[in-house]
Amino acid sequence: MISAAEYQQLDGLALAALVRKKEVTATELLEAALARSAQVNPRINAIVTPMHEIARDRARQALTGPFAGVPFLLKDIQEDYAGVTTSAGSRAFRNYRPVRHAHFVQRLLDAGVVVFGKTNTPELALKGTTEPALFGATRNPWNLDHTAGGSSGGSAAAVAAGIVPIAGASDGGGSIRIPAACCGLFGFRPSRGRVSAGPAFGEVWEGASSEHVITRSVRDSAAILDVLQGAVSGDPFRITPPERSYLEETQREPRKLRIAFSTHSPIGMGVDPECVSAVQDTARLLEGMGHTVLEDAPKIDGAAVAECFLLMYFGHVAATVASARKLTGARENDFEMDTRVLALMGRSLPAGEYVAAHARWNEFARTLGEFHQQYDLYLTPTLAQAPARIGSQDTPLAERIGVWPILALGMGKALLRSGLVQKSARVSLARVPFTQLSNITGTPSMSVPLHWTKAGLPIGVHFIARFGEEATLFQLAAQLEQVRPWKDQRPSI
C-alpha cells in the first residue's frame, strides 16, 4: 500500500521504481490516483472522461516498461484511445470513438502507463484557457477562482492537484507551456516532427503542434520523451534522432550557455510586472550559475506572427468543422460560437491568401535561426499576465464583435476584411503572446515553474532552443530544478 501523501509526493519514475521493487502494485497506485481524483476532481473539473474499468483491468496485467504501473491521464484531443470518446472539448465530437490508438498513446502503453481518464480541453484546443461549453471550466488547484490555463488545462490541473505525476498534453500555440505555467509545473514542447501525430494526422496545424506531457519533475518529462520520440512509418518526415537519451541529459551539466532575454510583449501589449520580475530573477539566477545572459530579442514582427498564426487557425478550424460533419454528422451549431466565427473566417479566406501567409513562416524561422547563431536560448515570460479569473475571458468573440447577423447571413468575407476578428483575437493573445513563436518556427521550448505571484499564483519562465536541441533545454531545466526546486511547492487543495 502507499499513503496518499507518498503517492502525491513521488514523480512517475519514482512510482515506477516502487512497482518494479514490488513495494507497491499497479492496482494500489491506481486506487490512490482514483481516491485523489474523487477528492479533488469535483472541485477542479480536470478529468472529463473517466476510464476506471479499463484501467483496473490493465493494472492487473503484467506491465513492462520504464513507467510500468504509473497512473496516467490523456488529453481529450488527438490522444486517441481506441473505443473511448475523443471529444476535443466539443459537442460535435462528444460521441466520436476512434477505432485505433494514436501512436502517442500506443507508445505510452508500451512504456507501461495505466490510463484511467481523459482531461478537459477548450473546444478544438483553440484557447489558452480551459472553459469548454461541453464540460465547463477547469479550475486552477492553486486558486479555484482562476483558470488552469489551456489548452491542456485539464492535464495541468490534474498534475498540480496530485492526481497524477504526468499527463498527456499538446502544444500548437503554447498549450503545454501555458497551463504548465499557470499550475506551477514543468511544460516541455518538443521540436516539430519529434513525436508522431499519426496515424490520424500527418502534421497538426501545419506542424505547429507538438504532442508531449506536463509533469512535476524534469526527469519525468525527459524519460517520457525518450519513449515518445522518433517517427513511425507513415509520418511525413524523419528528423535527426537525439545523441543520447533525454533522461541521461538531465544528469549532465549544461555547457556555459549564452542566453538572451526579453520581457517585452511581441505584440506590444502590456506585461504584468510580476511576469517581468520572474524573468529578471531568472536572469540573475542563470548568471549566478555561470551562464552569460544578455537582454536581446530576435527582430521578428510579433504582430505578423500573430496574424499568420491566426490565418492558419481560420483554415484549420473551418476544415475541422467540415470534417465533423462527415465524421459524426455534427451540425454547425454543435460548435461554440467562437469556433463558428473562426470557421466562417476560414471559409471566407481565399486559399491563395492562406498560402501566402504560410509562406511568411519562413521569415520567422530564419530570423530566429539567425538569432540562435548568437544565443543558445531565448528567455521570456511564459505568460504576460498571471492566470485569469474563470469567466473573465468568456465574453464570446461573437458577442464582442456583434457577429450574430453576420453569421446568420454568412457574410464572412465582409467580416474577414473588416479585421474585427483579427483584432478581437489579438485581445485574447495579449495574455499569452510569447509562446507561438516556437510553434511557428518548429523549435523546442519549455516553461519552468520558477516564480509565484504575491497572490500565490504560479507563473513560469519560458525558454526557446534551436531546432532539435531538446537536450540543452533538459540539461538547463534539471540544473534549475536543482538550484531552485519546486517540488515542495504544493497547492493547499
Partner 1 sequence: MISAEEYRRHDALGLAELVRSRQVSASELLEAAIARSAEVNPKLNAIIIPMHELARERAQQNLEGPFAGVPFLTKDLFQEYAGVQTAFGCKGLKAAHYKPDIHAEITARWLKAGAVVFGRTNTPEFGAKGITEPEAWGPTRNPWNLERIPGGSSGGSASAVAAGIVPMAGANDGGGSIRIPAAYCGLFGLKPGRGRTPWGPQMSEAMHGAAMNHVVSRSVRDSAAMLDATHGSDTGSLCHLAPPARSYLEEVSRALGKLRIAFSTRSPIGSTVDPEAIKAVTDATRLLESLGHHVEEAEPQVDGLQLAKDFIVMWFAQCAATVRQIKRRTGCGNEGFELDTLAMAAFGEASRASEYVEGYWRWGDYTRQLGEFHQKYDLYMTPTLAHPAPRVGQIATPQWQHVAMKILMALGLSRVILKSGMIEQMVQENLKWVPFTQLGNLTGVPGMSVPLHWTPDGLPLGVHFLASHGGEGLLFQLAGQLEQAKPWKDKWPSL
Contacts to partner 1 by CB under 8 A: 191-193, 198-199, 201-203, 206-207, 231-241, 311, 314-316, 318-319, 321-323, 343, 346-356, 359, 361-363, 365-366, 369-370, 373, 441-442, 467-468
> Grid coordinates standing for 274?
510580476
Q: Indicate if 87 belongs to the active site.
A: no
Least CB distance from residue 306 to partner 1, whole Å?
17
Residue among 151, 152, 170, 424 flagged as catalytic: 151
Closest CA to 130 of 178, 98, 186, 166: 178
> Grid coordinates standing for 360?
511568411
HEC letters along 56-68: HHHHCCCCCCCCC
Least CB distance from residue 235 to partner 1, whole Å?
7
Give just the sign of the alpha carbon dihedral 98, 100, 103, 106: positive
> Grid coordinates standing for 368?
530566429
Which residue in this structure is represented by grid cell 496545424?
Answer: 205
24 φ/ψ angles, rounded to the nearest 5 degrees: -150, 155
Least CB distance from residue 29 to partner 1, whole Å?
35
Cβ proximity of 98 and 27 under 8 Å: no
Least CB distance from residue 80 to partner 1, whole Å?
14
Which residue in this structure is represented by grid cell 555547457?
Answer: 255
Q: Rounded to an integer, what distance in angstroms lies between the CA atom of residue 197 and that of residue 209?
A: 9
What is the DSSP-derived secondary structure letter of residue 387? Answer: P
Q: Which is nearer to partner 1, 280 or 422 (CB)?
A: 422
- The DSSP line for 388-413 is PBTTTT-S-HHHHTT-HHHHHHT-HH
Q: Indicate if 175 belongs to the active site.
A: yes
Cα dist from 58 to 101, 112, 114, 204, whole Å: 15, 10, 7, 30
Q: Rounded to an integer, what distance in angstroms lies between the CA atom of residue 74 and that of residue 171?
A: 14
> Grid coordinates standing for 41?
476532481
Sequence letter at residue 339: T
Least CB distance from residue 239 to partner 1, whole Å?
5
Least CB distance from residue 352 to partner 1, whole Å?
3
Q: Rounded to an integer, what distance in angstroms lies between the CA atom of residue 87 and that of residue 121?
A: 9
Q: Indicate if 492 belongs to the active site.
A: no
Q: Which residues, 6 or more positions from 254, have their beta carbon under 8 angstroms from its beta carbon? A: 291, 472, 475, 476, 479
Least CB distance from residue 392 to partner 1, whole Å?
31
Least CB distance from residue 441 to partner 1, whole Å?
8
- Give me the count of residues in the chain: 493
Give start and end residues of each alpha helix (H) in 112-176. 153-160
- Whether residue 199 is preceded by a cis peptide bond, meaning omega within 30 degrees of 0, is yes
| Pairing relationship of beta strands 377-381 and 258-261 according to DSSP bridges | parallel
Residue among 75, 210, 217, 221 flagged as catalytic: 75
Q: Which is nearer to partner 1, 103 or 462 (CB)?
A: 103
Per-position b or e across 254-275, b if 16+ CB within 10 A of its CB: beebebbbbbbbbbebebbebb
Residue among 175, 217, 221, 447 flagged as catalytic: 175
Q: Which is nearer to partner 1, 278 or 306 (CB)?
A: 306
- The catalytic residues are 75, 151, 175
